[in-house]
């Protein structure tokens, strides 16, 4: 390696409560899904499917989510919204052979969640990182396929910053499983030691980044108060802007080691 080459080539981010701020969200995540589930049910009814119990369908879907997530927390195998929807349709005796799942997910029409917004410094920090020449990527523990979450990224003008984006629903594993980090790094053609991961949850973001061999940075927004529970981040920052001096210091440390 050339002594002048910055060994940190890539910055990977978590999405929720790292790039976007969920502190203003009203209600539960499930309650924010309801209008979109209604869109799906309208689509099914328009396709001639007999839905005798729309409320029951939504309740079953909510219960299926809880059960799949409980399993995922043990196995670290991802929850896949497509499977959740299929299982719910079967439980309500819908003929899944006549349901085009892709069309149904498009009918869901995922959007940015009311009350969720960018942190004030997100765009400025991403601009600076891009100017410094870092490759940027995003890994989210989301059951939705990434193309569905892209609607949110587009709404916040984040989409163009992240050529590499992985949702756990697509990758098959959730953080902290190292596989999802390595899958993103492979797409970026970067080794773990050349990458920094920034996230808000010690137990999955940071534990996973440490296990996968990345430099870990814990973001601690004021509305969150997660216990470290024995997890040791390499760095802790209060705002995204604090990442910039951390990276500058990492570059300096390496220059010193290279001499
Ligand atoms: Mg998060």
| Per-residue pLDDT tens over the stretch 184-238 | 999 999 999 999 999 999 999 999 999 999 999 999 999 999 999 999 999 999 9
CA of 148 to the centre of ligand 1 (A): 17
Domain-wise residue ranges, the chain: 3-25+116-258, 29-108
Closest CA to 219 of 194, 203, 202: 202
CA of 173 to the centre of ligand 1 (A): 16
Q: What gap in Å lies between CA 110 and CA 123, rounded to an integer? A: 22
CA of 94 to the centre of ligand 1 (A): 35
Burial class (CB within 10 angstroms; exposed 0-12, middle 13-18, buried 19+) of 242: middle
C-alpha 207 chain-centroid distance: 16
pLDDT(6) > 90: no
CA of 40 to the centre of ligand 1 (A): 27
Beta partners for 118? 20
pLDDT(258) > 60: no
Q: What pLDDT, on a 0 to 100 scale, did the predictor assign at position 3? A: 46
| CATH placement of domain 3-25+116-258 | 3.40.50.1000
- Give the domain 29-108 fold: DNA polymerase; domain 1 (1.10.150)
């Amino acid at each position: 390696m050339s002594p002048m080459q910055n060994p940190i080539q890539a910055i990977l981010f978590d999405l929720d409560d790292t790039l976007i701020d969920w502190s203003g969200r009203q209600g539960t995540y499930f309650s924010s899904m309801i209008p979109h589930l209604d869109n799906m049910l309208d689509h099914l009814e328009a396709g001639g499917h007999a839905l005798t119990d729309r409320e029951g369908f939504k309740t079953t879907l909510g219960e299926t989510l809880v059960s799949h997530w409980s399993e995922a927390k043990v196995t670290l195998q991802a929850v896949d919204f497509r499977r959740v929807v299929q299982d719910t349709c079967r439980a309500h005796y819908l003929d899944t052979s006549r349901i085009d799942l892709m069309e149904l997910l498009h009918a869901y029409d995922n959007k940015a969640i009311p009350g969720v917004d960018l942190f004030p410094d997100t765009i400025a920090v991403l601009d600076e990182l891009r100017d410094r020449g870092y490759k940027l990527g995003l890994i989210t523990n989301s059951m939705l396929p990434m193309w569905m979450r892209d609607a949110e990224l587009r709404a916040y003008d984040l989409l163009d910053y992240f050529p590499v984006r992985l949702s756990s629903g697509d990758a098959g594993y959730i953080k902290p499983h190292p596989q999802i980090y390595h899958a993103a790094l492979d797409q970026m053609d970067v080794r773990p030691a050349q990458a920094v991961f920034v996230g808000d949850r010690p137990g999955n973001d940071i534990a996973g980044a440490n296990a996968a061999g990345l430099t870990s940075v814990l973001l601690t927004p004021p509305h969150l108060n997660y216990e470290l529970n024995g997890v040791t981040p390499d760095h802790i920052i209060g705002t995204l802007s604090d990442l910039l001096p951390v990276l500058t210091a990492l570059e300096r440390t390496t220059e010193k080691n290279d001499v």
